[in-house]
Each structure stands twice: as structure tokens, then as C-alpha cells.
Structure 1
Amino acid sequence: MLNTIGLPASEERIERLDPQFLTTLRDHVHRALRTAILSGRFAADERVNERQLAEQLGVSTTPIKEALRQLEAEGLVETLARRGIIIRFNADWAEETILARAALESMIARLAAKRITQDAVRALEQTIDRMRTASLNAAADDLIELNETFHDQIHAASECRYLARMIERQRFYDASIRRIIHLDPSECAKALAEHIAISTAIISGESDEAERAMRDHVIRSGNTYLSMIFNTREEIR
């Protein structure tokens, strides 16, 4: 039996934590559980057991309880009477998050086109050059890191501290999902072309085009995620 991303159901769905993380255990437990949920390793409405999670992660139940409380505040899980803790993340939840991220990222790109400095232009151009090289070499790990750098540079160029803080909650693709996506040559080519279009518009000061290109990029990559995790066929627009 396979789960939603093709892994044998018998395999552990959460990686054990490295002992070096023990000084910030609560945060790492939260991150591990959040990543597992957002990667489709738990089904919507599935009941989770605190002791089983603790055993899989190799920790006590205390950080598990703390992490689950935080996840409940985020809406990813819910505690129900006589049923326990239930996974609430589903395709509709993911779609809403993708649309929220598209709205925020596109507005940030629009403002970046108006506010970008020459130093920021040079940094963005260097990142695009590195993306070209990584795409040619099919270097998935490099592309994952460069994707984060690309968006972070645009956030900084926009000088939108408030919007940048808001968007942190909309980043939910974990490295394993991004790696699968970036191992697809056609996906790499599409992403590179979109990143080039976004950067070109921002550097040229074309705010309308920067906003449109960014929204199209986030929506398309979001549709890829939905198809991979939930096998959805209807695309969001």
C-alpha cells in the first residue's frame, strides 16, 4: 500500500531528529511534524497519536504536545472530544494557502520593481546566473537553495517588512517535495523561464509585469504541488 506521494505505508513518515537539535527541540519537533503534514504523509481526517509520534521522532511526549498545540493554532490539526487529534490539512486548505501566497508574493514583486537598488539588481542577476547553471546540471539541492535566495532577495528589494513577515506562514513546500519537482527536467525549464521573466520585469521597473509574472509562477508551481500531493486535476487560476 502506498501513501499519497508513493512511499510504502510501512515506512516511517517522519525522520528521526538529530541529537544536535536538542537545544531547540520544540521548534524542530514542530517543523518535523509540519513538514510531514504538508508533504501529504498524513491523510486529511487521520487521527494521530502523541505517543506514536514521540516514538517515531525519538523524543518525549512533552515537545510533541507543544508542537501539536502550535499546529492547531495554525489550523493544520484539531483536537476533538472522544476522537483525539485529527489532521485538518487537505486540498482545499492547500489551495487557499497557495492563493494567499500568490497574492502576497505578487504584490511584493510589484513593489520591488519600484524600489530595487543597483546593488539588489546585481545580486538578483547573480542568482539568476547560478539558477541557469544549476538547472543545466540538474542540481536539485542547489535549485532549492537558490529558489529561497531568489524570493528573499525580492522581499528585501521591496522593503516590505510587513508583507514579508506575513508570507512566512505561506511557505509550506518542504525540501523533499521541491527535490522531486526539480528532478523533472521540464519543471526545471519552466521554473527557470519564470524566474528570468520575474527578475527581468523587476530590474526593468515594470511593476505590472512583475506582479503578473510572479502570480503566474506561484499559481503554476502550486498546481504542480496539488497534483503531486492530492492528485488534483482541476487547476486553480
Structure 2
Amino acid sequence: MDHGERVTPVQPIFLINLRDHVHENLRKAIIAGRLVDEERLNERDLARDLGVSTTPLKEALRQLETEGLVRTEPRRGVFVTYGPQQAEEMSLARAALESMIARMAAKRASLGDVDVLRAQVADMETATRKGDVERLIELNELFHGQIHEASGCGYLRRLQSRQQIYDHTTRVGLLQDADERGRAFAEHRAILEAIALGDPDSAERIMRDHIVRSGQRHIETVFGRARLGDRQ
């Protein structure tokens, strides 16, 4: 197996903060399914493929272990622990947090917040029509970020911040699909309208359903429909 196709070398510009960039690279590879569940990670091979020494790699792996994405077994090595069950748990955790944040945004959003969200959704419509995936990813993150800001939630936002790399990686994969882009746009527009109407029950429900649906789609994309069917 060609390990170099699954992770990309770290660019020299990133060397100042090397551990964090190695960590992000590996985390994305795990969540995207390029490093698979229960795979034993060969540290020398990974360090070579990343173009770094084993020191920042070991530091990054320790950080990934605290996040539950790898585990270390004495005398056996480091193994990936991200499979369909964990992906589902992470999706449900995100749905719980994001839906509560949307609920609070519907209660607290100012007219200015709603105007910003409307402008973002209008830009999403244009990007969706053009199939501009890179712009859609950016707008998705701005939209959710604006909801977070409008909610005024401090504690919930701190909890949610740990999901951000996961969120970005799943969006990169999902928004390549034209049907998914259309569904996501419709859901974002419905979330906006619930917040604009000051309807916390609807904002919470629509956001939760949006996150759960997109999370399920990510699981199907990364792990395959057959494996999901076996678990249900």
C-alpha cells in the first residue's frame, strides 16, 4: 500500500508549528477514511510520508489519543479507532450542541445577525448554483459561526469548538456531491428562517435534523452502505 497517497507532506512554511500541522493532517486522514479503523500506524513510514521527524509525529499521536481517534497498546503500537460507531457518536454530539446553539440564536439574534445570515444564505444559493465547492465550504463555516455568535453562548461554543476540524473534513467530502449541495442549502435556508422568526423549537429541530442527516451521509460515504446496514 502506498502510504504517500493517503497523507501529504508538510510544507516548510508550517515548520514553526509543526506538531499542530502534523496533528491536523493525520486527523483529516482518519476522519476521511484514508487511515482506516483498527489500522496499525507505522510511525517511521508516517514520518517519512509527512516529511518530518518522529518527534512531532509522536506528539501529534498523543493528541489524537486524547481525542479518541487512536489508541496506544503497549508493545503493539498505535491503532486508529475511528469507525462507523465513533463517527455516529461524534455526529450525534455535534447535533446536540449545534441544535442547542441554534435554539439560543433564535431567542437572542439581533436584526443585524439575521441580516448577516440572510446575506450568507444568498451567497450560498449562488455558490450552490455554480457548484463552487470551495466557496460553499467557506460559507458553511461562516454561517454556523454567525449562528454561534448570535446565540451568545459561551460554554456551548467552547464545547463545540473541539468539533471544528471534524466539521471541515466532512464538509469537504460531502459537498462534492451536487444532490448533497442542494439538500444542505435548503436546510440552511430553513434554519435561517426559523432564527429570523424567533422560533427556537423549529431552529433546534431543523438544525438537529440537518446535522444528523449530514452525519449519516458522511458515514455512508466513508464506511459504505453495506457496513452500515450490518449494524442496523
* Structure 1 and Structure 2 fold alike (TM over 0.5): yes
Verify the 8 A CA contact 1:198 1:214 in the aligned structure 2: yes
Distance 2:24 2:230 in 1: 28
- Aligned partner of 2:37: which letter? A
Query: What is the aligned counterpart of 2:11 among 15, 18, 26?
Result: 18
Inter-CA distance 180–37: structure 2 relative to 1 (3 Å threshold) = closer
Q: Does 1:160 align with 2:153?
A: yes
Gapped regions of structure 2 (runs ≥ 5): none
TM-superposed CA distance for 1:174, in Å, is 4.2
- More helix per residue: 2
Q: What amino acid is aligned across from residue 121 of structure 2 in structure 1?
A: I
Whether the 8 Å CA contact 1:98–1:170 is kept in 2: the answer is no
What does 1:106-145 align with in structure 2 at a 5 Å threshold? 106-145=99-138
SS in 2 for 1:14: coil
User: Counterparts of 1:39 and 1:219 in 2: how far apart (Å)?
Assistant: 17
User: Contact 1:111/1:207 (CA < 8 Å) preserved in 2?
Assistant: yes
TM-score by length of 2: 0.93
Q: For the Cα contact (< 8 Å) 2:105–2:152, is it kept in 1?
A: yes
Provide the rounded CA distance (Å) in 2 between the counterparts of 1:9 and 1:28: 21
Deviation at 1:165, TM superposition (A): 1.2
| 1:42 aligned counterpart, secondary structure | coil
Q: TM-score, normalised by structure 1?
A: 0.91
Report how far residue 212 of structure 1 moved: 0.3
Equivalent positions of 1:28-177 (< 5 A) are: 28-171=21-164, 172-175=166-169, 177=170
The 4+ residue runs of structure 1 with deviation greater than 2 A are: 8-11, 177-181, 232-236
Rounded Cα–Cα distance in structure 1 between residues aligned with 2:3 and 2:113? 48
Tell me which of 181, 190, 214 is aligned to 2:183. Answer: 190
Q: What is the distance in 1 between the residues matched to 2:203 and 2:137?
A: 22
Supply the distance in 2 between the matched residues of 1:134 and 1:151 (Cα, whole angstroms). 16
User: Deviation at 1:180?
Assistant: 3.9
For 1:69, what is the secondary structure of its paired residue? helix
Equivalent residue for 1:208? 201
d(CA) in 1 for partners of 2:206, 2:122: 19
Q: Is the 8 A contact 2:3 2:45 kept in 1?
A: no
Secondary structure at 1:45 match in 2: coil
**Which segments of 5 or more consecutive residues in structure 1 lack a partner in the other structure?**
1-7
Is 1:221 the counterpart of 2:214 in the alignment? yes
Tell me how large the CA RMSD over aligned residues is: 1.7
Superposed displacement of residue 27, structure 1: 0.7
